[in-house]
Structure formats: C-alpha cells, structure tokens
Structure 1
C-alpha cells in the first residue's frame, strides 16, 4: 500500500528528503500577536503559473517597465502560498487550507508546516475560507478523500457558497475554470453538515470580522482580526500579488473572475489599509505574506515584515 505523503515526510528530518524529490524545502512561517491572539503564517509551498494568467488584459507598454522594476518575469509567476493560523483560547483556526497534492507540484505542504509548529490536523477547531479556488480549498481532503481536519467546524461567506454549489456554475464559469467548479462543489458537499455561513460585517468569532471583498470570486471575503487598536487583515486573494496589484490596482487582472469589481475592491481596500496603517497577510504576497501597504509615486507598494 502506498503511504500518504504526510506520513512519509514527517518532521524536520524529512525536509531534506522532500528537497531531494523536488518538493518545497521549508515550512517557513512568520508570527505575530494581537493582544492574546497568536497568529502564525505557514507555507503551503508555491505555484508556477503562466504570466498571462494575470497580465493578459493589461496594457503591455505600461506593464513591462513596471514588472522590470519589480524583477518580475512577464512569462512566469511563482507566487508563494501563505496559510494563516490563529490560536485564541482553546481555538485553533485555519484561514484556508491550501491546495493539497492534486493542484500544483510545488504546493501541498501545509501539514508539514503545521507539524513544524507542533499542530496536528485533529487539533484544528475551525476552518474559515476566504474563497473556494483550488489553492485555498483543495487541501481539505486527505489521501483517502476524507476530510483532513476531522474535528473542525467550517465557515464560508454565503455568497461564495451559493456560487460554487450552484449546478450551473460549471457551465457558466468557462472552460479554463470548469475543473475549479467541479472540485469546489465536490469538496464543499463533503463538509456541508459542518458548515456555517457568514455575511459582510459579521463577527464570525471573538475578534474576527468578515469584510466583503468581491471580484476575485463572486463571494470572496477578507477577515479582520482585531483586539483594541491592534488589527491585521487576512486578505486571501483580494490583493493577489506584490507587484502589479499594488502598482496598478485599478487595472483588470486575468486572475479575477469579475475583473472590474475586483479592481474597485482593491482600490477601496488599499486606501483604507493605508490610512489605518493596518498590517496585512496576503496568501500570495512575497516572503511570508505579512507586512504593510505604503503609498508609492504611481500607486502603492507592499512592504514585507523584516
């Protein structure tokens, strides 16, 4: 019988084995505290995507100088995948669950990253989804197609749930994303009895409020973790990269399902986060995804935590 990869690669000693097989080599993480809330940002690896996935709708004469300034290839994207874990009292909360083994060969290392922090899957009490794209949802199941976090309760925005559970979505989403729809519906159906829905502005648990950030998907949500004057915004993919999304947030991106709405969301959110000096955690932002937004000459820029 083939052993599940999570059992074969166990503990820090296995990281060298993983590197030998071409798997991601380190469960990098960042940590911060907000009052008595502890937040860790852990790695699920990275993706390799064609540049056109984001850049195709953009004006090339303006785009290429910006990418050069950022050292970003127009041909290939290799974004990190940063999963946020929150520990507060007796709750261990994951915001998204990564992609698992079936989406991208360089991703799917969330379990190894959690293990490095001494967190087992059955310790996770809650899973909150920003949205249901594969790199955020497909890590839900283990190698035997059972839910990986057996004791967790699940939460998702009601608009997002309704979209992916609609049987017409697979036909309406377009050929390039049809597999996204099939995969999302199958996985969400498996946890339907453990699912709770939320809407914009809801306090989904103590210290965590939902913020509608529609556009990347029809019901995308960001989550603000706050105690007193301290806060961090878990962005998901509403600000989806550390280069063009900051330099030209008003441009339509090929990665967004509703590009016009997503661009309007980015502009509004960037301005708010800048004015309030709110720390952010982005699923695909550079380094460990944690940092701040600053104003730049032409737009904004992401300043990663040191």
Structure 2
C-alpha cells in the first residue's frame, strides 16, 4: 500500500491525544574549538505505514519487536543541530513552527534553554525542505523568525521546491509540503545562498549530497582539525530499520532506491571512520555513533 493523503492525515489526528510535549534529550559534543549541540523541536506523530508500507512484513515485525516500536504509530524526536565556532552560530534546519503538528514547533523554547534567541542565529543551513525542517522559518507575522541569519540551501533542493510543477507531480499526500515550502522560500529569496555538493559553505562546514529522501537532500561534514562529525538530516531516518536493514526502501523517501544508496554510503562511512552522527529523527537527542552489528546491518549507539 502506498502513502495516501488520508493515511498521513490520520496520523496527524493522533497528535492531540498526547497531551503535553515530552521532555526530549539534548546532546552536546566538543568539536575542536567549536561546539555542537542538538536542540529539540518536539516530536512528530506519524502512522507506521508512512515508513513501513514498502517493507517485507514478516522480517519487519522481528525488528520492530526488538526495538519495541509500534507498527501503527511512530513518535520520532526532532533534533536540530546547533554549531558554534566562536564567530558563527549556525542552526541546521528550523523545525516545524506552529502549523504542522501540535507536538512539534518548540525550537524557540529549546534555544532559550541554551541562552539563545532567534536573533542570535547568524546562519541557517537546510538539509531539505520538508515541513518539519522548514515550516518553522516564519513567525506569527509571516516574517522570517531568524531575521539576522543568512540562509543556505542546496541548489538542487531549492530548484525542486521552487519549480511550479512540483506541486502537481509530488503526489496528493505531499502537495501541501510543496505549497508550504514554496511560501517560506519566497520569504527568504533575497537572503539565501545556494550551494553545490562538496562546497565548503562556511569555515569547517562542507556539503555532502545525499539525495533520495528528497531530490536535493544534503548532509554536512563538520570538521575542526582532526575532529569531525556528520549531520545527516533525514538521510538516516530512524534508529531501527534504517540501521538494521538500510537496503529496505522507506515510504518516507521520495525516491526509495536513491535513498537506499545514500543511506548505505553514510552508514558505511560513519562506521569506518568512527565519527559522530547527528540525525534529525534519531533518539536521545539525535547524537551518537554507528557500529556494524556483525552482519550486513548497523546499530546506533547514543552519545
């Protein structure tokens, strides 16, 4: 069964039943003279079918049981990476804002908890333009919330969502994603810098193309001397099936086979180089390391 608008909205309808937002862990990492922190934007509530529909059900059941994950409802954390090098204060993605889900949109409070306000952010770098990553861009007056920031987005990702044909071709379930992305991108058109794969967009911050989840999805390598970390956005979307069976296509990815290729490349590199990973929907603050599990899969080890 493919993702439909009804199945996705049914997942959203579960969100108000959760009550107060949970306390979500924050993770910290020293990266040479710089620091890397995750700040929470709350969590999503999604139907399991949003991810699991393309997967073989018998094998899937064993993995979900191992990780105590429901096949019917998922509640992934939303963890934004915050990078500070003494000169720049960089936020990777901006969260959901108030218009996507009542369980998300808490980044302003999370920034306040680490002593920052939106006007302290000097740069915003987008991994991609799905709602939980870009809809938090605008304030209640439809003005950019991070008004002092310079914005960065990969050229391919920008061109995809800017294209007026995208809303017609992306499918009914994701049409609102396209409309919402375009509206927010219009608000920063004069303040955005576009970049290519491999480009160092700020000192110590280099882009790494990881398409599939969206056509222009980007990961980022942060490096200070011998210290490095990878911010992977949604290219590695969870700590269970994405690690145990990275070769399985996920219903959350717009191009399943291409997303598999990107995911396996990242996991191979993270396991071989033993460097920290920061994943938007990974648990316990989203920060940890990747290890091989003795077979063809991997495991996520929290920080």
Paired residues for 1:1-306 under 5 Å: 22-26=19-23, 28-298=25-295, 299-305=297-303
Kindly report structure 1 stretches of 4+ aligned residues shifted beyond 6 Å.
none
Secondary structure of the residue aligned to 1:29 is coil
> Pairwise CA RMSD of aligned residues?
1.1
Cα distance in 1 between the residues matched to 2:243 and 2:25: 24
| TM-score normalised by the chain length of structure 1 | 0.91
Cα distance in 2 between the residues matched to 1:47 and 1:286: 12
| TM-score normalised by the chain length of structure 2 | 0.92
Greater alpha carbon shift after TM alignment, 24-33 vs 226-235:
24-33
| 1:25 CA displacement | 4.4
- Contact 1:39–1:87 (CA<8 Å) still a contact in 2? yes
| 1:38 CA displacement | 1.1
Cα distance in 1 between the residues matched to 2:40 and 2:20: 12
- Contact 1:279–1:290 (CA<8 Å) still a contact in 2? yes
- Contact 1:28–1:113 (CA<8 Å) still a contact in 2? no
Secondary structure of the residue aligned to 2:246 is coil
- Contact 1:124–1:152 (CA<8 Å) still a contact in 2? yes
Cα-to-partner distance string for 1:81-104 (whole Å, 9 max, x where unaligned):
001111112211100000001111
Cα distance in 1 between the residues matched to 2:251 and 2:22: 30
- Contact 1:27–1:112 (CA<8 Å) still a contact in 2? no
Cα-to-partner distance string for 1:7-45 (whole Å, 9 max, x where unaligned):
xxxxxxxxxxxxxx9332446422111111111101100
Cα distance in 1 between the residues matched to 2:222 and 2:142: 31
- Contact 1:45–1:80 (CA<8 Å) still a contact in 2? yes
Secondary structure of the residue aligned to 1:240 is coil
Q: Specify every segment of 5 or more residues in structure 1 that has no aligned partner in the other structure, as ranges.
A: 1-20
Q: Specify every segment of 5 or more residues in structure 2 that has no aligned partner in the other structure, as ranges.
A: 1-17
| 1:252 CA displacement | 0.5
- Contact 1:158–1:198 (CA<8 Å) still a contact in 2? yes
